[in-house]
Chain A
Amino acid sequence: MDRAVYSEPRPCGCCFIIPTHMLERLSTSGNRDMAATAARTLRINNSLQAFRAQLNTGAPPPATPVRPGLRRQAFNCNGTEDMPGDLARSENDPPAADAAVNQAFDNAGTSWNFYKQIFGRESVDDHGRTLVSSVHYSQGYDNAFWNGQQMVYGDGDGQIFQNFTGSLDVIAHELTHGVTQFTAQLPYHDQSGALNESMSDVFGSMVKQWANGQTVDQADWLIGANIFTADFKGHALRDMANPGTAYDDPMLGKDQQPGHMKDYVQTQDDNGGVHINSGIPNKAFVIAAKAIGGRSWEVIGKVWYVTLTERLTSSADFEKCARETISVARDLYPSDPSIAARIAQAWIDVGVLAAGDAMVASLATGAAAAPAVTAAAPALAGTASPAKASGPKTPAPAKAKKRVAHHRVKPQPPNQPPQ
Chain B
Amino acid sequence: MKLVVERTGGFAGLKRRGERNGEDLSPEQRAALDQLVAASDQQKSAGKQQSSDRPAGPGGVAEQDPGADRFTYRLEIQDESGTRSITLPESRMPKELMGIALQ
Contact = CB atoms under 8 A, between A and B. Distances in A.
Interface of A: 11, 13, 15-19, 22-23, 25-26, 33-34, 37-38, 41, 56, 142-149, 157, 161, 164, 170, 173-174, 177, 180-181, 188-190, 196-197, 200, 224, 237, 252-253, 266-272, 274-276
Interface in B52-74: 54-55, 58-61, 63-72, 74
A82 to B, nearest CB: 14
Contact of A143 (B58, B61, B63, B71): B71
B13 A143 contact: no
Interface residues of B, number: 31
Nearest to B6: A269
Contacts of A157: 102
Given A22-B55, A189-B59, A276 B13 contact: yes
B11 A170 contact: yes
Contact of A268 (B60, B64, B67): B60
A266 B57 CA distance: 9
Contacts of B60: 22, 268
B50 interface: yes
Contact of B69 (A25, A145, A149, A266): A145
A34 B48 CA distance: 8
8 contacts: A16-B50, A26-B49, A157-B102, A224-B12, A237-B12, A267-B58, A268-B59, A275-B13
Interface in B39-93: 47-50, 54-55, 58-61, 63-72, 74
A197 B101 CA distance: 24
Nearest to B71: A143
Contacts of A143: 10-12, 69, 71
A243 B71 CA distance: 22
A54 to B, nearest CB: 14
Nearest to A164: B11
Contact of A144 (B15, B49, B69): B69
A174 B9 contact: no
Contacts of B50: 16, 18
A148 B64 contact: no
Contacts of B10: 142-143, 145, 275
Interface in B1-20: 6, 8-15
A145 B11 contact: yes
A142 B11 CA distance: 9
Contacts of A174: 11, 68-69
A204 to B, nearest CB: 10
Nearest to B102: A157
Contacts of B74: 269
B69 A146 contact: yes
B59 A266 contact: yes
A188 B72 CA distance: 12
